[in-house]
Amino acid sequence: MLLHCGIGSDVSESALLAPGWLRPETLDSLLELNELAFALLVEQAAERSTHASGLVSAVSAVWRRLDGAARRRAASCPYLLLDAGFADVQRWSGTAGAQVSDVREGPPPFFTVRGALEAARLVFTYAWHLARTQPAAARLLLGMRAPCAAAIAQYSLRQAFTLAESHAAWLRPRWSARPEVWQELLAAAASGEELALERARLHGLTLLAAESRVAAPERAQRFTGHG
């Protein structure tokens, strides 16, 4: 089975899981952002003014029990555990000349804690950098569709930063309605078993591939005028 993220039909899953074609600093930043994703969920769980979702409660409870090595294993998955609607072409369809305040609003915010704004700045900047310099990596690591990468690449650095400032509410955990995906990853990280880790990481890549396949017919319908 191949990961249909626009990289090419001759790229196998084993090749995608191997980091050889990705720049080391790209993966270092990905690891840092994934660690931040877990930290945000823990911070959200401690926010007494909000009702913790199933994902927040499940992740926070397990994360607190992991040692440093296990946490690093969990954060070392080959995709970003945060999302800002990188598969939503309409959201990112503004050009560099558009006012970022005109960009379409998303759903209510998932994160309500203070750390969310700083996380949004980092994620948006990382996405902008990948869209400009490594669009194939943006599609693999962020689940970013090619039209989104092309749109984001048109923004200036200042515009990307401003967009993060005004739309931090776009930031959400990936698969926020599926805590079992996170639990599988954390359990594998806690065990330290390489096969379990590979299975959990592959599960995430498979989900990204499925989301891309679902999006493809939607694009076709819009272009043909059907549906």
Q: 127-144, pLDDT tens digit by residue?
A: 999 999 999 999 999 999
Proportion of the chain above pLDDT 90, given as a percent: 64
Sign, Cα dihedral of 163, 83, 17, 2? negative
CB 88 within 8 A of CB 102: no
* Cα distances (angstroms) measured from residue 152 to each of 80, 92, 106, 156: 17, 6, 17, 9
Model confidence band, residue 105 (pLDDT cutoffs 50, 70, 90): low
What average pLDDT does this structure show over 152-164?
94
What average pLDDT does this structure show over 96-125?
78
Beta strands in 128-175 (DSSP E): 172-173
Checking if the pLDDT of 8 tops 50, the result is no
CB 79 within 8 A of CB 138: no
pLDDT at 215: 57
Amino acid at 64: R
What three-state secondary structure class fits 83?
strand
Instruction: Compute the distance between CA of residue 187 and CA of residue 22 in angstroms, rounded to an integer.
Output: 27
Could you tell me the residue ranges of all domains in the chain? Answer: 13-221
The CA angle 44-60-182, to the nearest 5 degrees, is 110
In 3D space, the residue among 169, 178, 51 whose CA is nearest the CA of residue 110 turns out to be 169
pLDDT of 47-96, one tens digit each?
865 556 789 998 999 999 999 999 999 999 999 999 999 988 888 886 44
Instruction: Compute the distance between CA of residue 188 and CA of residue 184 in angstroms, rounded to an integer.
Output: 6
